[in-house]
Structure 1
Amino acid sequence: MTTDLTPCTAPTTTPDVHAARPGARRGRRLRGAAPLLWAAPPVALLAVFFLYPLALVVRQSVQPDTGGVSLKPYADVFASPAFREALWTTVWLALASTAGCLVLGFLLALVIAFVPFPGARAVARFIDVFLSFPSFLITLALLFVYGRTGLANGLWTGATGAPDGPFAFLTTPWGVLLAEVTYFTPFVMRPLLAAFAQLDTAQLEAAGSLGARAPRIVRQVIWPEALPALAAGGSLVLVLCLNEFGIVLFTGAKGVTTLPMLVYGKAILESDYPGACVVAVVNVLISVGLYGLYRVVSRRAGA
C-alpha cells in the first residue's frame, strides 16, 4: 500500500480581467468628468454675469435706432469729434498718470526700503491698506484740501482778504492727473517693495565698501532689480487709468471727457444707447489688449 505524499494544492483561480474592466472604465470616466463638474459652476456664473451682458452690449452696438443690424453706429461714433477727443484725452491722461506713478512710486519705495526712519514698517503696511481705498475717497480728500472752498483756498482768502483763492486746478485735466497719480502710485510701490525685500543687502554693502556713492548704487545695483516690478506695476496702472471713471466724475472736471465718461454721457444724458455701446466696446478692446500686455510683462518679469 503506497501513500501519495504529493501535497494537495488548492485550485488556483485567475481573476477575470474582463469582468473588472467595466468598473475601472466607470472609475476613469468619473475621474475624467470630475474637473468638468467642478468647472461648470464658475463657468456658468461667468457666462451669466459677464459674458451675457457683454454680448448684449456688442449686439446693441450694431443695432441702430432705425432697426436692423448695421455698422452705422460705429461709423457715426468714429466720425464724431467728441469720440476722437475723448480717446486722445483718455490715452494721454493714462500715459501721463502711469509715468508719474512710476517716478513717484520708485522714489518713495527707495526711501521706505533703504532709508532707515522711524515708522518705515508702518508706512509699508499702510500702503497695503491704501490699495483697498475707493478712488472717489482720495478725490474727495483732495477736494477738501484744494477745492474752491477747500482748506488751501480758505487759508489764502483768510490771510489776504481776497474773495477767491488761487487753487482751482482740480476741475482741469491737471487736477485729474494729480488725483490719479495720488491714488495709483501705491499700485507701483507694492511690487517694488516686494522686489526690494528680496534684494541681497550684501551687494549694497560691497558696493558701498568699494566707494560707490548712493546714485551709482541705485543705478547699477537697485535699478536692475526694480525693472521687472516697475514694468508689471506700470502695466497694471495703465490699464486701471484707462478705465477710471470715479476720479474724473468727482473732480468735477467738465472739460475732461474720457471714454468711460463718454459712455456715461451717451447712455444717461443723451439716451444714445447704440453709441454708448460702441464706445464701451472700444474701451473693452483697448483694456483687454493692455491686460494681455500686462500678463506678458508680469510673466516675463516673474511678478
Structure 2
Amino acid sequence: MTSEPAPSAVPTRSALRNACPQRYLLALPPVAGLALVFLYPLALVVQQSFQPDTGGTSVQPYVDVFASDAFRSALWTTVWLAVAATAGCLVLGFVLALVIAFVPFPGARAVARFIDVFLSFPSFLITLALLFVYGSAGMANGLWTDVTGAAEGPFRFLTTPWGVLLAEITYFTPFVMRPLLAAFAQLDTAQLEAASSLGARAPRVVRRIILPEALPALAAGGSLVLVLCLNEFGIVLFTGAKGVTTLPTLVYGKAILESDYPGACVVAVVNVLISVGLYALYRVVSRRAGA
C-alpha cells in the first residue's frame, strides 16, 4: 500500500503573486497616513528652508545660518551634551540594572516596574523635580540658609550646562535600563553559577559573562538616548540655563523670537539629518556586528 505524499507547506510562486497585491493594498492606508502626517510637513520645512524672505528659491538661508556663530555654538553644545549624557546613562544604567537584576533586595520587582512607569513621564516633570530640590529657592538651598544663616545657598549649577547634563542623565537613564533588564532576564544563570563555583569574582563575572550578553542592549539603549538627547527641548527650556542653546532651542528662538522662519527651517533640517544619519549608522553597525 502506497501513501500519498503530504502537500508541501511551501507556498508556490502563483500563490505569492496573488498575495503580493493584497499586501500592497493593506500597506496603502498606513503609508498614506504617514505621508500626510509626517512626510508632507517635513517636505514643507525643507521647501521653506530654500525660500528666503526676499523671495525666490536660494541657498542663501543655509549660507547665513552656517556662517553664524550662534549656529556653530548651538551645534557644538548639542553634540557634547548628547554624547556626555549618553555616556553617563550607559554607565549609570548598567550599574543600576546589575543591582536590580542580580543583587537580591526587598522591592526589586517593584523598582523594575517603576522604571516602566518612569518611561512615560514627560521630561519637564523631572526637570521641575530637580528645580524643587536644587533650584535657587529649592530645598537644598533652603536647608543651607537655615543651618548657616547665609543669605543664599551655594547650589546654582542647574542654570549651567552641568545642570542640563544632570537632568538629561536623570531622565534618560531608564531608557538604557529597560533593554538591559530584558537582556539580563534571558541570561542563563547556570553560567554565573559555574563561574562562581570556579572561583571567579564578581568583577570578572561581569566583564567576561554579563557584559558580552548586554552589549546589544547597551547599543540599542545608547543609540536611542543619543538621538533623544539631540532633539531634547523641554529639559533645556525648563532649567533656564543661561548661555545653553541647542539646535531645538535655536529653532524655537529663530521661529518665535526672531520670526526668521527660513533660518529656523534650516536648523530643523540639519537636526533631522543628524538624527537620521545616526540611525542609519546604528543600523549598519548592528547588521555588521550581527546584533
The equivalent residue for 1:142 is 130
**Count of aligned positions:** 278
**Residue 234 (1) aligns with residue 193 (2):** no
- Once superposed, what is the RMSD of the aligned Cα atoms? 1.8
Give the letter for the 1:222 counterpart. I
User: Aligned to 2:242, what secondary structure does the other structure show?
Assistant: coil
The runs of 5 or more residues in structure 2 that have no matched partner are: 1-13
Paired residues for 1:177-256 under 5 Å? 177-256=165-244
The equivalent residue for 1:112 is 100
Give the letter for the 1:179 counterpart. A
| Change over 3 Å in CA distance of 1:302–1:229 after alignment to 2 | farther
* Alignment partner of 2:37 out of 49, 66, 81: 49
**Residue 83 (1) aligns with residue 83 (2):** no
The equivalent residue for 1:6 is none
Give the letter for the 1:269 counterpart. L
The equivalent residue for 1:3 is none
Per the TM alignment, residue 41 of structure 1 is displaced from its structure 2 partner at its CA by: 1.5
**Residue 283 (1) aligns with residue 271 (2):** yes
The equivalent residue for 2:88 is 100
- Structure-1 separation of matches of 2:154 and 2:248: 30
**Residue 125 (1) aligns with residue 76 (2):** no
| Change over 3 Å in CA distance of 1:29–1:219 after alignment to 2 | closer
Give the letter for the 2:278 counterpart. L
**Residue 167 (1) aligns with residue 162 (2):** no
- Structure-2 separation of matches of 1:99 and 1:58: 32
Percentage identity across aligned positions?
Answer: 85
TM-score normalised over the length of structure 2: 0.91
Per the TM alignment, residue 89 of structure 1 is displaced from its structure 2 partner at its CA by: 0.2
| Change over 3 Å in CA distance of 1:28–1:192 after alignment to 2 | closer
Per the TM alignment, residue 34 of structure 1 is displaced from its structure 2 partner at its CA by: 2.3
Give the letter for the 2:45 counterpart. V
Deviates more, 1:45-54 or 1:86-95: 45-54
The equivalent residue for 2:245 is 257
Give the letter for the 1:149 counterpart. A
- Structure-1 separation of matches of 2:196 and 2:173: 29
* Alignment partner of 1:272 out of 252, 260, 268: 260
- Structure-1 separation of matches of 2:29 and 2:203: 54
Per the TM alignment, residue 298 of structure 1 is displaced from its structure 2 partner at its CA by: 5.2
The equivalent residue for 2:54 is 66
| Change over 3 Å in CA distance of 1:117–1:32 after alignment to 2 | closer
- Structure-1 separation of matches of 2:286 and 2:111: 25
| Change over 3 Å in CA distance of 1:299–1:112 after alignment to 2 | farther
- Structure-2 separation of matches of 1:283 and 1:219: 36
How far does the alpha carbon of each residue in 1:14-59 deviate from its partner, in whole angstroms, 9 at most, with x for none? xxxxxxxxxxx9x999755322322222111111111111111001
| Change over 3 Å in CA distance of 1:179–1:301 after alignment to 2 | farther
Question: Higher Cα Rg: structure 1 or 2?
Answer: 1
The runs of 5 or more residues in structure 1 that have no matched partner are: 1-24
Per the TM alignment, residue 296 of structure 1 is displaced from its structure 2 partner at its CA by: 4.0
**Residue 154 (1) aligns with residue 142 (2):** yes
- Structure-2 separation of matches of 1:269 and 1:71: 23
